[in-house]
Chains A and B, each alone.
Chain A
């Protein structure tokens, strides 16, 4: 093993050597510098591998051949080698990244860079306090020089503010060190720790000053204005070094010096870190400048790490895992984001849409953003999971709430930014060059991020049980993204079919999972068929479609809470990206993501609560939670955000309506069932008998009823066909929730069959309307009309769809309704039942509007030439129609197994449905799908023949025969019959559809934003104000501690 002191020697020597170079030897000098940092990186990584895998404790290095106090003592342990490896790899890439900047400013600027790297290495290794001070100053001086690498007034001002702030902070540090020496008589950390010096007040104050100085180097909120200015003004390559490099060194310094203090700093660190995490992220949400935004986020993440150090005693053995996983995510992601920022050179986050010109950098941008927020499969996801679980075990609920709130706020601005990159207008006039040497560092960090994710998965307590096959499939699709769409589509369909076939035996005995698995997988394949009509490559679609389906199927396969949550997040992520692909989806996708994120965190907390006192994460732990009220309520609300119960529904209409034509059926017909599946699982496990659960179910019942009414009512007043269907989904999911809340045999049977029905008819309707929209290029129903001739098959599909939806005999929807009445009557929820029946009546209105406005009435001139929907849209529709017909004629195919399954569960031992061949009967009546079909069919034929018989003399009316036509053609569209179709109903009931809920969420949004806007005014931009902040911060913390 090479003695790590050579790292210092080589870096310092090279730095001196480069000072001698003239302009001509620039390339050679750069090569030397790169070699020097590479040398440091190789040695530190070598040490890390050696120490991590071995049993050796580490190496003490004494300078000048003698022991402390006569020399300075360095230590290379496993922690040291890890952080040094991180810093040196970062340094190497950062050096390459700055190649052009160094050439502009001369080789001497790269000398500063080498000194910076060297300083950080010593900061990590040194065990001598004064030595630490010296190298902290060296790092600061080098950085202060590098801040001016990008010349300008801004960077000069930022550099000056930085120097003054650092000057004051290091003055405090030096005073602390001198008095520490006065009382302790040594400057060596280990000497002091072994000496057992009495903790008199003097030394406590001295150590306080030292620690608070290190803490201030970590930029705690709000004493961090100077740092934000630096992040904003400096060259992004330097900001990357500050955010990922010096912050790493400083936080390790804090960790190293913490044992000196006899005072209990940990609670204070927790508070300081948490305040920084939440505060900094909160101010970030109104920030428009990308580098400053990254600064806010950076400070927030470091705050989280400080808080984790503070919470260490509660985390026990897991501390290292949690800290490192959060650290590595921040380290890789933040450097990567700063680097990308330097490539595209756009300061306004809205202008990051230029990323779309380079798919690779867009991909990396997304990867880093998701890593920061803590989405699976990145390390921070595992870290946060473990953190929250451990905190719950210690009943630290406040900290769970604070940490997740901070993460959520961070999600707001990061996803908004991501949305801009995906969808904002791109001003193509402005050129941009993607330089290769600037792309290398983020590429390397992306690869490292994926590698780190893999290792975290293996290291985590639950990880290796995760099913990684879908993840590999997704990665492969990213690689294969250059293929034409139909190839990838076939690949994905084949993959899903194979996966389903392989999966089938494992869930064949579990009817519940079979039903939902069937919806997810069959539905997935059917909706993917529609994708064949897409031309070109359809870049970036398939990986995320598979991601969504992988998440959905993961929910089915999940054996424990972790796997469930992992799949839940994967599903959310995939669906979010599918939704944002729509043309006007930017805002709606953000809404969807924020509601999903909030909901997911509630589920997360609920899981954590149920885990208290448990050893395993088995799904069964939900049934033995010690806090049933909280657990179930939180989890239920979480699932309700997905099923869009009223109050949490405002994301749905926009997200579903603005999505691409074949994405709408995916997210509406299929994705919504994930929430239903979650609720079923939850109710199955929670036990309905206890009083708390009864109250919860009663409330959910009401919520379902109101959702059904509200959703349907809002659907009636829509002009946009897809929005109408989307609101209708809100209402339909209300039915399902209502029926689930019964927790009776027949209630659940209703809910499950209705889930299947809803999947069939809503997928059908969205596919049919999607096909129409593709042809007529508008969503507005009053602009359509008379399309029955051009699109007869679509018309039939919609007709079948609405008959099923409205529950008109003889189709499956009617069977659902029959069950529904049975359930309501046997449960005795008459009042809520009235809501439901009323909602059902309203459903007729919008069903009529849909079919009339689109397919009947007057054909429009401009649509006379439109063709039938693409054949790839029609094929899945035909299959769905066959499905509806089968379940309509033979409802027992579905109901019998469901009944058996429910009877086998502990809940409902008696099956109220009696089967006689294919006829079901309850105490209230009987029903045979087959017979009803027969009766209705006969009636239909009789009436039809009667009609034909009676209208032999009928005259065919041409469209422009004004005498007979119902309306005058060529009028402005607003006078169209179907425009404002139900205005009279609106007069009567419109008050019920006033968007109070949206008003509430908008209000919350604007309150948060104005709060952030006002608070960030403390960063006045004046260097002296920042010094006042620092001094006040020290004084306040001192007052609190002593």
Chain B
């Protein structure tokens, strides 16, 4: 069965995690849990990206052991998504850190981490 190949599994897992993450953001009232859900969304996208770049029976796009410059094109997986994943991870870390900082500030202001305690701006 081709469905259960690595890239498909990874992609399916990615979508599954995406749903879980978004559900978490919407349903969890606790701000820390929301941030964790956000990280899950991030991870799910990284999985998706990796699965898109994966080409079967090929190795990581690193020139060195077993991969020479001349035959790299036939031996390695697509390097672009991998580069993208790296960038996306960095950005994800940045946003998560900022979210955590904000959660700290919110806690200091209100002694609470419930998202619905921060409704004073509305309408």
Interchain CB contact under 8 A, A160 and B87: no
User: A1028 — which chain B residues lie within 8 A by C-beta?
Assistant: 26
Count of B interface residues, CB-CB < 8 Å:
39
Interchain CB contact under 8 A, B91 and A175: no
Interchain CB contact under 8 A, A160 and B26: no
Interchain CB contact under 8 A, B122 and A1019: yes
B109 at the interface (CB under 8 A from A): yes
- Write the chain A residue with the least CB distance to B21: A171
Interchain CB contact under 8 A, B45 and A145: no
User: B115 — which chain A residues lie within 8 A by C-beta?
Assistant: 1022-1024
The verdict on A178 contacting B123 (CB below 8 Å), with A153-B109, A1023-B118 known, is no
Interchain CB contact under 8 A, B123 and A182: no
For residue A370, give the distance in angstroms from its CB to the closest CB of chain B.
27
* B98 touches which of A145, A157, A287 (Cβ 8 Å): A145
Pull 22 A–B residue pairs with CB atoms less than 8 Å apart, ordered by A.
A137-B91, A140-B95, A141-B94, A144-B98, A158-B121, A159-B102, A159-B105, A160-B99, A163-B95, A168-B25, A171-B18, A171-B41, A175-B48, A178-B81, A187-B80, A225-B122, A287-B123, A1021-B122, A1022-B119, A1023-B118, A1024-B27, A1031-B26
Contact with B along A186-203 (1 / 0, CB 8 A): 010000000000000000
A43 at the interface (CB under 8 A from B): no
Contact with A along B107-123 (1 / 0, CB 8 A): 00110000110111111
A544 at the interface (CB under 8 A from B): no
- Write the chain A residue with the least CB distance to B121: A229
For residue A127, give the distance in angstroms from its CB to the closest CB of chain B.
16
For residue A663, give the distance in angstroms from its CB to the closest CB of chain B.
38
The verdict on A157 contacting B106 (CB below 8 Å), with A163-B98, A171-B41, A181-B81 known, is yes
B9 at the interface (CB under 8 A from A): no
Closest 10 CB pairs of A and B: A1021-B122, A1021-B119, A157-B118, A153-B109, A229-B121, A156-B105, A160-B102, A1016-B123, A182-B52, A137-B91
Interchain CB contact under 8 A, A178 and B102: no
CA distance A797 to B99 in the complex (A): 76
A1027 at the interface (CB under 8 A from B): yes
B13 at the interface (CB under 8 A from A): no
- Write the chain B residue with the least CB distance to A151: B105
Interchain CB contact under 8 A, B38 and A174: no
CA distance A1016 to B102 in the complex (A): 26
CA distance A181 to B53 in the complex (A): 9
For residue A730, give the distance in angstroms from its CB to the closest CB of chain B.
39
A267 at the interface (CB under 8 A from B): no
Contact with A along B89-100 (1 / 0, CB 8 A): 001001100110
A821 at the interface (CB under 8 A from B): no
Contact with A along B14-48 (1 / 0, CB 8 A): 00001000100111010100100010011001001
For residue B122, give the distance in angstroms from its CB to the closest CB of chain A.
3
A179 at the interface (CB under 8 A from B): yes
Contact with B along A815-845 (1 / 0, CB 8 A): 0000000000000000000000000000000
B72 at the interface (CB under 8 A from A): no
Interchain CB contact under 8 A, B41 and A168: yes
For residue A153, give the distance in angstroms from its CB to the closest CB of chain B.
4
User: A717 — which chain B residues lie within 8 A by C-beta?
Assistant: none
CA distance A174 to B42 in the complex (A): 10
User: A106 — which chain B residues lie within 8 A by C-beta?
Assistant: none
Which B positions have Cβ atoms within 8 angstroms of A? Answer: 18, 22, 25-27, 29, 31, 34, 38, 41-42, 45, 48-49, 52, 80-81, 84, 87-88, 91, 94-95, 98-99, 102-103, 105-106, 109-110, 115-116, 118-123
Interchain CB contact under 8 A, A1021 and B120: yes
Interchain CB contact under 8 A, A157 and B121: yes
User: A145 — which chain B residues lie within 8 A by C-beta?
Assistant: 98
A958 at the interface (CB under 8 A from B): no
Interchain CB contact under 8 A, A1024 and B103: no
For residue B84, give the distance in angstroms from its CB to the closest CB of chain A.
6
A167 at the interface (CB under 8 A from B): yes
CA distance A1028 to B22 in the complex (A): 10
User: B38 — which chain A residues lie within 8 A by C-beta?
Assistant: 164, 167
For residue A801, give the distance in angstroms from its CB to the closest CB of chain B.
52
CA distance A287 to B98 in the complex (A): 31
CA distance A1022 to B120 in the complex (A): 9
CA distance A1020 to B110 in the complex (A): 19
For residue A533, give the distance in angstroms from its CB to the closest CB of chain B.
49
CA distance A69 to B22 in the complex (A): 33
Interchain CB contact under 8 A, A156 and B119: no
CA distance A137 to B99 in the complex (A): 14
User: B105 — which chain A residues lie within 8 A by C-beta?
Assistant: 148, 156, 159
Interchain CB contact under 8 A, A1027 and B102: no
* A1031 touches which of B22, B48, B116 (Cβ 8 Å): B22
Interchain CB contact under 8 A, B118 and A167: no
* A130 touches which of B87, B94, B119, B121 (Cβ 8 Å): B87
Interchain CB contact under 8 A, A137 and B121: no
Interchain CB contact under 8 A, B95 and A1020: no
User: A984 — which chain B residues lie within 8 A by C-beta?
Assistant: none
User: A1020 — which chain B residues lie within 8 A by C-beta?
Assistant: 119, 122
- Write the chain A residue with the least CB distance to B35: A164
A892 at the interface (CB under 8 A from B): no
Interchain CB contact under 8 A, A141 and B95: yes
User: B116 — which chain A residues lie within 8 A by C-beta?
Assistant: 1022, 1024
